[in-house]
Amino acid sequence: MSQSKLEQLKNMTDVVADTGDIEAIAKYQPQDATTNPSLVYKAAQLAQYQDLVKEAVAMHQDPKQAADYLAVALGKEIVKLVPGRISTEVDARLSFDREATINKARQLIEQYAKFDVEPNRVLIKIASTWEGIQAAKQLESEGIQCNLTLLFSFAQARACADAGVTLISPFVGRILDWYKQQQPDQDFSGANDPGVQSVSRIYNYYKQHSYDTIVMGASFRNTQEIEELAGCDRLTISPALLESLSNDHSALERRLINDASTQEKEAALSEAQFRFESNQDAMATEKLAEGIRNFIIDQEKLEAMLAQQ
């Protein structure tokens, strides 16, 4: 039998599981795995993770500390199943506080160390606000590698590259959602997908300017978006879409290619330039704010659930 599209994709792109479901990770064997407050909250409600929930509550009476413990305990189990790294997110309520983000990231790394998980197996996920990016710059200088998430704009991507972050997670599907709402009659299929276009632009810019930051497309709505980004450094994919790719045995064409051309790097964006360019991008401004709010909602739901325990 010919290779599935998932197998073909793995030949050109590092596949990451966008889930906290250990069983799904074991099934699809991704390179890395990534979680967020929404995924941890979802996992905490499943029967197979109740021992971890009880352990978190027993270790910490403070729901915030218990939530951090649970996220790391879940990550500790996941990292046993992947050859690469687990991404664990900083509390989204700290998205506009550089120092608090730095301190929380250090605490998460310290917690992983207590589980004998080395820092090189962990990526700290931080929202791509100006403060978050500057926090990541400091953390990277300390050897704490970061995954900058909720990334919707080219300005965010440029600032992350300037900061030397390890990896960015530009969101494809949420960009598409915004444009479909604004222009419901427009054809956004295939290469017309604005989320696909955004990630393709970022990928090409990074390669042309020799940035080391890894581009990991995220937040997919369908397999077509994934196929249009085949060849991207990494793609983080939900179990449902991994299943669809594994059941499809038609040919997959590589779309993104590192042409190894080099251009002189542009001057780093100043804070004023970053904020101005972000302000001019209505989609990115709205989706970043919405993403932070939604992560906070699920973080607070998780903490409330732990408090009831």
104, 125, 207, 287: the active-site residue: 125
Backbone Cα Rg of the chain: 19
pLDDT at residue 225 above 90? yes
Residues 2-36: pLDDT tens digits?
999 999 999 999 999 999 888 999 999 999 999 89
Q: What is the mean pLDDT of the chain?
A: 96
- Residue-level pLDDT at 1: 66
Q: Picking from 82-96, 237-251, 260-274, which range would have the lowest pLDDT averaged per residue?
A: 260-274
**CA torsion, ordered 93, 163, 195, 176, to nearest 10 deg:** 20
Give the global pTM. Answer: 0.95
pLDDT band at residue 309 using 50, 70 and 90 as cut-offs: confident
Contacts (Cβ under 8 Å, ≥6 apart) of 234: 13, 14, 15, 16, 31, 32, 167, 214, 215, 216, 217
pLDDT bucket at 112, cuts 50 / 70 / 90: very high
pLDDT digits (tens, 9 = 90+) for 140-161: 999 999 999 999 999 999 999 9
Q: Which band of pLDDT confidence, cut at 50, 70 and 90, is reported for residue 262?
A: confident
Mean pLDDT of 84-90: 97
Average pLDDT over residues 55-80: 95
Question: Given this model, what pLDDT does residue 154 score?
Answer: 98
| Per-residue pLDDT tens digits for 156-205 | 999 999 999 999 999 999 999 999 999 999 999 999 999 999 999 999 99
**Strand runs (DSSP E) across 182-276, as ranges?**
214-217, 234-237
Could you tell me which CATH class the domain 5-308 is placed in? alpha beta
Residue 267's pLDDT is 93
pLDDT of residue 260: 74
- Number of neighbours of residue 208 by Cβ within 10 angstroms: 15
Domain parsing of the chain, residue ranges = 5-308
Is pLDDT above 80 for 261? no
Contact 235, 17 (CB under 8 A): no
Looking at residues 27-48, what average pLDDT do you find?
92
54 in catalytic set: no
